[in-house]
Amino acid sequence: MANLVVPRGLRSRYTRLIRDVVRWPFQAVADRRNTFEGKDLILAWAAPLSILVTLLSWLGLAVVGFGFILAGISDRGLAKGMLQSGSSVFTLGFLSSSESRQTFVDFCAAATGPVMIGLLVGYLPAMYSAYSEREAEVTMLQSRAGVPAWGPEILMRHVQIPGLVTQLPALYQGWERWACQVAESHTSYPVLIHFRSPRATRNWLIALLAILDAAALEVALNPSKPKSTMRMTLRAGFSCLREIADVEGIGYDPDPDPDGEIQLSYAEFAQGIDMLRYAGYPMERDPEEAWAHFRGWRVNYESLAYELAYRIDAVAAPWSGPRRTARQVLLVRTPIDRQPKTKAKSDAAT
């Protein structure tokens, strides 16, 4: 219950255990589905159901606890103690006692049940409000980042439409604020981490990763551009991931080496650069030189993003790491598959 009343990220092994136990059968069934859409439809039930199961487990533990107390202070025995406890916790009142000590315990039990239910019901609007705000930005990004979102496609789409590239700083500023809001809400209510988007091809983590990659690419490719907005977005983004990782119990290096290795290969990086070059994105550095700078930024967030994407089984996207089932990657169309074949078609589409 501390997760509901204390406005800060608390790690609760009990609630994590309940969440994992509830999720396991859904995950087992989802892993056998042939399409990611079918998989997502099954997994969408796991997180909301875990909230209900958590409440029921709280009430059940309260019944057991008060039952042992009543059995210990009376001669009714454990079975009748549990019945009397359940009668009080659920405010049914069909079994009680006139003995003062038992009456006091009954009052405490009768207050516990409604308080637990009231706390959870009272905080549900706050949780769903945070979820709605998160998904609104993810949905808005769809037209700018593709489906599923990808960092290079953000830059490609902005450079292809005249005048749109000037909106990139505002986009980064909005996502800097979004990252701070998600860090606060998802550490206060960790179950939101596992709430899935309304559409299978959208995901909050993949959207954030795309924004971070786009900002890192701009910093790496064009050193003469003003960097303050992009750098602040990058820092807000990987700080958000680190705070969520603390709640999830994921380890990370708080001060990684900028020259350290990352899982993204240079070949994958070059593929994204080729797409940007084809779209006419201006580049001051060549790919080999930009790779070192891009890697220096990505080392701050890549491992956390990959681990979280694997845990929540996010939609497969370029530059987002492996998933539980290899076939998932093959069933989702990546942004590069949708590019026009000729420059003429590109201009017409624009």
| Whether 282 contacts 162, CB under 8 Å | no
* Per-residue pLDDT, 207: 97
Give the residue among 216, 208, 213 at the shortest CA–CA distance from 244: 208
Range of the domain at 58: 2-121
Residues 68 and 180 occupy one common structural domain: no
Residues 281 and 162 occupy one common structural domain: yes
* Per-residue pLDDT, 263: 95
* Per-residue pLDDT, 4: 56
Non-local CB neighbours of 33 within 8 Å, separated by 6+ positions: 39, 42
Residues 117 and 222 occupy one common structural domain: no
Domain boundary among 121, 145, 168: 121
Residues 100 and 237 occupy one common structural domain: no
Mean pLDDT along residues 20-39:
91
Mean pLDDT along residues 69-96:
81
| Whether 203 contacts 140, CB under 8 Å | no
Residues 183 and 41 occupy one common structural domain: no
* Per-residue pLDDT, 7: 57
Distance CA 218, CA 283 (A): 9
DSSP state of 310: H
Domain boundary among 71, 103, 121: 121
Domain boundary among 95, 121, 147: 121
- Sign of the C-alpha dihedral, residues 181, 187, 188, 190? positive
Residues 61 and 90 occupy one common structural domain: yes
Residues 176 and 230 occupy one common structural domain: yes
Residues 97 and 217 occupy one common structural domain: no
Mean pLDDT along residues 198-216:
96
* Per-residue pLDDT, 344: 42
Distance CA 265, CA 318 (A): 12
Whether the per-residue pLDDT at 122 is higher than 90: the answer is: no
Distance CA 44, CA 314 (A): 11
Based on the structure, what is the number of domains in the chain?
Answer: 2
* Per-residue pLDDT, 350: 43
Distance CA 246, CA 141 (A): 27
Whether the per-residue pLDDT at 332 is higher than 80: the answer is: no
Residues 161 and 13 occupy one common structural domain: no
Residue 100: exposure state from Cβ atoms within 10 A (0-12, 13-18, ≥19): exposed
Mean pLDDT along residues 86-96:
78
- Give residue-wise pLDDT tens across range 33-79: 888 889 999 999 999 999 999 989 989 999 999 888 888 887 778 88
Residues 233 and 277 occupy one common structural domain: yes
- Give residue-wise pLDDT tens across range 220-261: 999 998 889 999 999 999 999 999 999 998 999 999 999 999
Residue 234: exposure state from Cβ atoms within 10 A (0-12, 13-18, ≥19): buried
Cα distance from N-terminal residue to C-terminal residue, the chain = 52
Residue with the two structure tokens 């009768």: 110
Mean pLDDT along residues 199-224:
95
Residues 101 and 136 occupy one common structural domain: no
Q: Which amino acid is at 28?
A: A
- Sign of the C-alpha dihedral, residues 283, 285, 288, 294? negative
* Per-residue pLDDT, 333: 45
Give the residue among 249, 234, 116 at the shortest CA–CA distance from 190: 249
Average pLDDT, the chain: 87
**Three-class DSSP category at 203:** coil
C-beta neighbour count of 139 within 10 angstroms: 14
pLDDT confidence bin for 146, thresholds 50/70/90? confident
Residues 151 and 289 occupy one common structural domain: yes
